[in-house]
Amino acid sequence: MTSKLYQKIDRRSKKWRESNDCTVKALAIAAGVTYEQAHGALALRGRNFRKGAPMFTFWDALGDLGFTGKEIYHHYIIKKSENPYYQNCEQTQEKAKKMRRTRWAKERTMKSIEPHLPKRGVYIVQTSSHVLCVRAGQIHDWTTKRRHRITHVHHITRAEVPEKK
């Protein structure tokens, strides 16, 4: 079952007759803005109507709205650390060691992660071809009970505003 917040944003998406807009929905939920504001922020960064947006566009638009993301899980870094070529690379090994200890590493699909979600905070979760938002321990997307493999997780926080002197 999808959340009420996601259903509200999905209705706005259908009103616009949008498709391939998972980045718009995730941005709206993560930043706490309307669908139209998120749509506009991504459009200013180059997203075309009814076309998907690459993740660098998503991160730029998130920054425009005053938020930043910190990577806390990356599936490929763990795989990379197991490669013999990277065994002597301390930086890769250290990152992989930290990521193996996270809750995201143990539960690798959307279906299995749901009971283990943190009750606080906003997270952007990426799968191989989809992006969604987890807010306050609830998945705001249609993939809730699906077996989509998690590849990246980012913790979203408000950006620090430098003080004017």
Residue 116 lies in a domain: yes
Judged by average pLDDT, the poorest of 1-5, 120-124, 160-164 is: 160-164
| 165 inside domain | no
| Domain assignment of residue 58, yes or no | yes
* Inside any domain, residue 164: no
- Total domains, the chain: 1
Rounded distance, CA 5 to CA 86, Å?
43
Give alpha helix (H) positions in 35-109: 35-44, 55-64, 75-81, 90-100, 103-106
CA separation for the pair 95, 93 (Å, rounded): 6
- CA–CA separation, 110 vs 88, rounded Å? 33
pLDDT value, residue 80: 64
Q: Look at residue 163 and tell me if it is in a domain.
A: no
Paired tokens of 155? 């913790």
Instruction: Evaluate whether residue 40 is within a structural domain.
Output: yes
User: What is Dmax (Cα atoms) for the chain?
Assistant: 53
| Window from 44-48, 113-117, 148-152 with minimum mean pLDDT | 113-117
Q: Which domain holds residue 8?
A: 4-158
Residue 79 lies in a domain: yes
Give the residue, 163 or 3, on which the prediction is more confident. Answer: 3
Give tens-digit pLDDT for 29-84: 999 999 999 999 999 999 998 888 999 999 999 999 999 999 888 776 666 667 67
Q: Evaluate whether residue 145 is within a structural domain.
A: yes
